[in-house]
């Protein structure tokens, strides 16, 4: 689905991502792991076009998307979540989600000034999408709570819902379970599986090894911006380079 070829990003003299080639496989959970500063988030920023790569290409569904803007990439169906989600804390959760489907609408200033039927219809669709997404992530009971008042775990789910409202084909999740307790992590893992069951491909960055090993179909390991291993959780667990660079030998028997 997403093909990455010799992707490199240099910040000054530092290569944050260095010649990484991989594929994100359709309908699977693709995990990206690596020590802090390995270039994981930069890697996501490149896919989502927040950063322009120094060299290399990204192909999404057969189309070269390397030179697109973030909003264009989003419109093609790549959604992402961030480590922290900037919501409007004084508005309700539902209100925050309505804008999520904006990229599939066309109403412009003229429709707004005239109050056109297109605008009314699109506002209805956006609201419906927001409700659906909220249902999907299991938060319909807090639809009318203020975004500033929800728990960390609920906020993570709201971020998922926001990404889902864009009708994505691929979702990039940056530490979806960061700062969340073990039971809640389990719940979020179940939600990620549910997303994949509904035909959306997932790529995620995560530090929680237990979660990754049970959840991922495929793991890519980055270290100092370079790919050091790639494979199933079973293969990664046994890979000596990974054990050396990242997990540490005490994890070898886990």
Partner 1 sequence: MRRFIDSHAAWGLLLAAGLAFPWATGNDYHLTVMSTAYIFAIATLGLNLITGYTGQLNLAHAGFMAVGAYTVGILTVDHGWTFWGALALSGAVCVALGWFIGIVSLRLKGHYFSIFTLCVGYIMFLVIEKWESLTHGTVGIMGIPAPEPIGALAFESPLALYYLMLAFLVLAVWVMRRIVKSLLGRTFIAIRNGDELAEALGINLMRNKVLAFQLSVCYAGLAGGLYAGFVRFIGPGVAGVEHTFDMMIFMLVGGLGTVLGPLLGALAMPWLTQSLQFLQEYRFIVFGPILVALVIFLPHGVVGSFLAWQARRDAKEGKPHAQD
Q: How far is the CB of 4 from partner 1 (least distance, A)?
A: 19
Q: How far is the CB of 238 from partner 1 (least distance, A)?
A: 36
Toward partner 1, which CB reaches closer, 57 or 105? Answer: 105
Toward partner 1, which CB reaches closer, 150 or 219? Answer: 150
Toward partner 1, which CB reaches closer, 163 or 202? Answer: 163
Which residues of the chain form contacts with partner 1 (CB under 8 A)? 48, 50, 69-71, 74-75, 79-80, 82, 85-88, 90-92, 94-95, 98-100, 102-103, 105, 107-109, 112-113, 115, 119, 122-123, 126, 144-146, 149, 162-163, 166
CA neighbor of 196 nearest in space, from 227, 218, 181, 175: 218
How far apart, in whole angstroms, are the C-alpha atoms of residue 174 and residue 44? 8
Contact 25, 1 (CB under 8 A): yes
Q: How far is the CB of 170 from partner 1 (least distance, A)?
A: 12
Toward partner 1, which CB reaches closer, 82 or 224? Answer: 82
Toward partner 1, which CB reaches closer, 11 or 88? Answer: 88
Q: How far is the CB of 191 from partner 1 (least distance, A)?
A: 19
Q: How far is the CB of 72 from partner 1 (least distance, A)?
A: 8
Pairing of strands 218-223, 63-64: unpaired
Q: Which residues of 47-57 are buried (b: 16+ CB within 10 A; e: fewer)?
A: bbbebebeebe
Written as six digits, the tokens of 70 are 């973030």
- Report helix angle 152-164 to 117-136, nearest 10: 130
What lies within 8 Å, CB to CB, of 201 at 6+ separation is 1, 2, 24, 25, 26, 27, 28, 30, 169, 170, 171
Q: How far is the CB of 58 from partner 1 (least distance, A)?
A: 16
Toward partner 1, which CB reaches closer, 146 or 209? Answer: 146
Residue with tokens 């939600």: 191
């Amino acid at each position: 689905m997403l093909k990455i070829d010799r992707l490199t990003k240099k910040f000054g003299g530092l290569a944050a991502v260095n010649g990484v080639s991989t594929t994100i496989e359709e309908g699977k959970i693709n995990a990206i792991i690596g020590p802090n500063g390995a270039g994981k988030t930069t890697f996501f920023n490149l896919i989502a076009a927040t950063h322009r790569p120094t060299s290399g290409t990204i192909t999404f569904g057969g189309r070269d998307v390397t030179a697109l803007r973030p909003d264009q990439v989003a419109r093609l169906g790549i959604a992402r979540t961030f480590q922290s989600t900037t919501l409007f804390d004084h508005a309700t959760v539902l209100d925050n989600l309505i804008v999520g489907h904006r990229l599939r609408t066309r109403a412009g200033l003229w429709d707004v000034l005239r109050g056109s039927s297109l605008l009314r219809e699109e506002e209805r669709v956006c609201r419906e999408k927001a409700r659906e997404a909220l249902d999907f992530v299991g938060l319909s009971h807090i639809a009318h709570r203020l975004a500033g008042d929800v728990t960390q775990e609920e906020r993570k789910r709201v971020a998922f819902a926001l990404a889902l409202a864009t009708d994505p084909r691929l979702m990039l999740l940056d530490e979806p379970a960061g700062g969340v307790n073990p039971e809640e992590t389990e719940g979020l893992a179940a939600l990620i599986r549910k997303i994949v069951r509904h035909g959306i491909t997932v790529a995620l960055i995560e530090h929680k090894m237990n979660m990754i090993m049970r959840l991922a179909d495929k793991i890519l390991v980055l270290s100092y911006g370079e790919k050091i291993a790639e494979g199933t959780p079973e293969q990664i667990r046994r890979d000596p380079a990974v054990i050396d660079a990242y997990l540490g030998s005490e994890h070898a028997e886990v």
